[in-house]
Structure 1
Amino acid sequence: MFKPSLIVAALGAAFSLTAVSVQAQNNDRVSVAVGHKAGAAAAVRNDVTKAGGRVLHDMSAADAMVIELPAKALAALAKNKNVDFVDAGVPRRILGGKGPRSTALTSTQTVPYGIPMVQADQVSDSAAGNRNLCIVDSGIDGTHEDLAAIPKTGENFTKSGRWDTDENSHGTHVAGTIAALNNSVGVVGVAPSGTLKLHIAKVFDAAGSASSVVIARAMLSCWQAGSNVVSMSLGGDSASPIEQRVSTLLAKKGLLLIAAAGNDGNTATSFPAGFPEVVSVAAIDANKARAGFSQVNADVELAAPGVAVQSTVPAFSQTGSSVDVGGMAVPSQSMDGSPRVSGAGALADFALGETATPGSMAGKVCLIKRGNISFAQKVVNCQASGGAGAVIFNNTAGELFGTLGETMTAIPSVGITQADGEALLAGKLGEATSVAVFGLPDLYASYNGTSMATPHASAVAALVWSLHTSCSAEQIRASLAKSAMDLGAPGRDAEFGHGLVQAKAAHDRITALGCGQ
């Protein structure tokens, strides 16, 4: 299926080489992915060795390798007649985050709204054992009560834990949407019988970001592990040549690749979703309306539930928070990335938190209005001014779910509603205030993102394919598109693609008309 972003992808090598050059200015040695001509691996290895480099990772299946070499040797390598591209990699990040706290489900089982919405409850997964679904994410909590019995293998591409541990919680949440067991506790997934095989390619640690080079290596491992479907709840702004090459290879090998469309709420293309071989999935809410954060572009192919999706998480991976002002509890949401600490002091107006003034907030808790700069920078400025904690209030209606990204801070930070923030600003400044962020024992959580939509679509693809194994990946892709519930403008559109992915409709269509018809 043609995608306009193919042109962008073709230019990726030039953009990546620029990134390499920037990196080379600041490092004596650099690590890059090198794509080479077919049959030229030995020659390129020899040239790398002669240049004082070494091969870190073999990617010969894709006519590529990851190497480390002196920065001064990069220019010659890029001009090597056997080299197609030199790729320093571009950032990839998880595309989901927490929503309102879910009730800790232990003694009862809940069916998340997305399961019937994609018709997973209308199709048997008794044959799902003939499919293998690869999750490229932050690992999985292999001991979780809703996931432990699922057949799974894995590989760890990080320095954090093992493939069957999850220091971020995102991968475990994705896995639950795909395959949480029908076992009387927690939630159920799209394929809840415990027969669908999972392969876990762990690429993210607690920070939730990685290079596209790592993602490409993980994608190769999916194929090598015998996976049929690859689910990638991740993305980034720029195309990567090595990621594109691996996507092309895996599609030729008969794998179905599915990725998140992106969470910036604009028309930009996210990769790898933007590659022509990859199904791009947008997010909708329980009312089938497009999530405000979901990307809108011609690459969007399918839509699936991605707002307030309940699924599995490791115990104590989620954080809660408390705010007390003059003996009055104020409802709050911990900032993602906030340290689990407490702080106390008089409540002080820190305005928009745009400027750090050492000592100005010493022994105080900063009350900050949302706007202009990132949450992370606001907290950093509060801390640099001596603040003991940061309370950021919204500039629109609703709760504030913020993130610090990869910024490290030492003080607790939370978000509160606009109404509560304005009330504190008007009548509570100077009062004794305490702020705390702490771990929660919850085994289930509500998340938002195209990250949450992607596993719905990936699992439906595996479920339908398990019942029609004679179909090719491309035919399953076509059948999912043709059977989707049309949303928005008639026909394919930039918000919903072909529409809401439907398991039973796809199964029925293939049964009646054949693969891909």
Structure 2
Amino acid sequence: MMQSNTGMTKMAAAVKVAVAVAAFGGVMGAASAAAPDTTRVIVAFKPGAAASMKSAVAAAKGSVKHEIFGANAMAIEVPAVALKGLQNNPNVEYVEEDVIRKPFALTSPSTGTPYATGQLVPYGIKMVQADILPDTNAANRKVCIIDSGIDQNHEDLAGNAMTGEYDAGTGWWYTDENHHGTHVAGTIAAINNSGKGVVGVNANAKLNLHIVKVFNAAGWAYSSTLTTAANKCKAAGANVISMSLGGGRSSQTEKKAFDSLAAAGVLSIAAAGNDGNTVVSYPAGYASVMMVGALDENKAWATFSQYNTKVEISAPGVQVLSTVPMNSGTEAALSVGATTYAPGVMEGSPVATATAPLADFGNGSATNAAVSGKICVIARGTVDFATKVSNCQASGGVGAVVYNNVAGTFGGTLGTTVTSIPSVTATDTEGASLMSQLGQTGTVAIKTSSYAYYDGTSMATPHVSAVAALVWSYFPTCTGAQIRSSLTKSAEDLGPVGRDTKFGYGLVRAKTAYDRIASLGCGN
């Protein structure tokens, strides 16, 4: 997941939340790196040998960190010098590093069809055709979300059928200290409830959700804990596993688990990664897992989206509006007289409101007492955002608006600079309008919100997972492999003709996939 500051429609305003930017992953137990003189590995052993392996680990002055659910394997931490002895143990099948996994975020107001008036419809919902394929039968499908948990009491999620897991390290599944999992869940199943937030792909509270909390606020975990999570999804009866997470190295243990899940009919879907290079991330890189790349609202490849021959399908992943834990996000507002603007949040701005006359503050590179008691209107460029806002505050300014020096919206951040005045971003055209209103009284505000815009292949993945469940709900006798094949064959081809490294087979499309299966059957 990556964050993105942006503007939105006047009804939607601009929504942001401060969450650490990460590439992918998770934690089933409290994640902490192995001590310098020890190493953390996964030991796979012969059936029935668990007790003897624990004794061998203890004899090697090591400790068991995680017993992998559903597998004859455990994660252990031992002195590096003890590895050779363990590898030669007759009960051991293999020893491998327990590699780290990390987490990898535009709307229009509904007119009442098919969503209730007052709902915001993220652009991705229409782009994947969820608005023209009702989730009538979704109750026969279950999506397992492996992530940072979920705010079970969120106003836009609470009506869904949800179950989950408890873990001693990360806690209960129904809390989300990282915010990432709640955002993913909203794309999948935010409810069509008039006047409250957004809608998800499956918007009518019929889809079954199972939540496995694999990472906490720290935002990382091991392949051993991800393997346990995936096996718990299967045990809970999941049809689809959604994983907005990953890492750059493969794991035998993980691969075996996902191969087994695929053989059992479970469709596993994971993010390609956000480094904008050709590195293959895992678990998405396993043949038994569907890798998802990210697009923007114009169906263009997102430049952060990793690209390689494993990318299989694409979905919206830029400026995706979805749910975050209640009141954990921020929303920007800006008005001058009767004119209401659609500003973006300046990340790091305090929650505050200021009403005062507008004043020209140039590019904000120097203090100016003339703006004392006023809202600074500042041109982008020359100096960083923190300097602009800090200079406004030092001049006695009570609020700040930084407008773009090129066409369109933009993201701004104050970094580690602490300010006490509300600050927002504006487009170039909004800036021109503000400059024509100098001296008039305006209001700039940063308010708490329960919704946020994120960028990332983390945001593309739940679109695909939700579409898979939606289409599958109409054809429950299809296998997971057949649904996967149908999604790729019905995707909108983008980029070079046929499958390519950036788009895979193209944009996932719910109604087109439904029509294809209805016409040709599951296996074609």
Using structure 1 for the length normalisation, give the TM-score: 0.71
| Partners of 1:496 and 1:79 in 2: CA distance | 45
Describe the SS at the equivalent of 2:191.
coil
Aligned pair 1:273/2:280, yes or no? no
Distance 1:183 1:348, change over 3 A: closer
Mapped pair 1:505 → 2:512: yes
Q: Which has the higher contact order (CA 8 A, sep 6+)?
A: 2
How far the C-alpha of 1:266 sits from its partner, in A, is 1.9
Q: Of 128, 132, 137, which residue of structure 1 is paired with 2:138? A: 128
Q: Distance in 1 between matches of 2:350 and 2:148?
A: 21
Amino acid at match of 1:265: G
Unaligned runs of 5+ in 1: 1-22, 323-330, 350-366, 380-391, 420-436
Which residue in the other structure is 1:61 paired with?
Answer: 70
1:432-472 CA-partner distances (Å, limit 9, x unpaired): xxxxx98x421222221111111110001111111111111
1:205 to partner: Cα distance = 2.0
Q: Secondary structure at the match of 1:511?
A: helix
Q: Using the alignment, how far apart are the partners of 1:417 and 1:221 within structure 2?
A: 46
SS of residue matched to 1:199: strand
User: CA distance change for structure 1 residues 201 and 244 in 2, over 3 Å: closer, same or farther?
Assistant: same
The 3-state SS of whatever aligns with 1:187 is coil
After the TM superposition, which residues 316-465 of structure 1 pair with which residues of structure 2 at under 5 Å, given as runs? 316-319=327-330, 333-335=345-347, 401=411, 440-465=447-472
Post-superposition shift, 1:339? 10
1:262 aligns with 2:273: yes
Asked if structure 2 preserves the Cα contact closer than 8 Å seen for 1:167 and 1:317, the reply is no
Q: Deviations over 1:273-327 (max 9, x none)?
A: 11111111111122211112112211111111111212111233225799xxxxx
Question: Which residue among 181, 201, 207 is the counterpart of 2:191?
Answer: 181
CA offsets, 1:189-214, max 9 Å, x none? 11112111101111222243333332
Query: Do the aligned partners of 1:158 and 1:204 also contact (CA within 8 Å) in 2?
Result: no
Cα distance 1:394–1:85, how it changes in 2: closer, same or farther (>3 A)?
farther
Contact 1:368 1:393 in 2 (8 A): no
1:35 aligns with 2:44: yes
Which amino acid in the other structure matches residue 477 of structure 1?
A: R
- The C-alpha deviation readout for 1:77-129, integer Å capped at 9, x for no partner, is 23434231232322422x24xx99x9xxx982122221121111222322111
- Quick one: which of 184, 190, 202 aligns to 1:191? 202
Question: Number of residues paired by the alignment?
Answer: 425
How big is each residue's C-alpha offset from its partner over 1:221-280, in whole Å with a ceiling of 9 and x where there is no partner? Answer: 211211110001112222233322322222222211101111122222122111111111
Structure 2 SS opposite 1:478: helix
Q: How does 1:283-322 map to 2 (within 5 A)?
A: 283-319=294-330
Matching residue within 225, 246, 250 for 1:239: 250
Is contact 2:490–2:516 with CA below 8 Å preserved after alignment? yes
2: CA distance, partners of 1:154 / 1:249: 22
Choose the corresponding residue for 2:232, options 217, 221, 232.
221
Q: What 5-or-longer segments of structure 2 have no aligned partner?
A: 1-32, 110-115, 334-342, 353-363, 367-380, 388-401, 429-444
Q: 1:332 to 1:190 in 2, by over 3 A?
A: closer
**Partner amino acid, structure 2, of 1:116:** K
Partner of 1:354: none
1:117 — aligned with what? 127
Distance 1:491 1:168, change over 3 A: same
Paired position in structure 2 for 1:356: none
Cα 1:121–1:159, aligned 2, differ >3 Å: closer, same or farther? same
Residue 205 of structure 1: aligned partner: 216
Separation (CA, whole Å) in 1 of partners of 2:40 and 2:123: 44
- Normalised TM-score (structure 2): 0.70
Which string of whole-angstrom CA distances, capped at 9 and with x for unpartnered residues, describes residues 122-180 of structure 1?
22322111111011111111111110010111124474553111112211111111011
The answer to whether the aligner puts 1:45 opposite 2:54 as a matched pair is yes
- C-alpha contact 1:90 1:240 (8 A) present in aligned 2: no
The aligned counterpart of 1:471 is 478
> CA distance change for structure 1 residues 471 and 75 in 2, over 3 Å: closer, same or farther?
same
On the 8 A contact 2:100/2:247 being kept in 1, the answer is yes
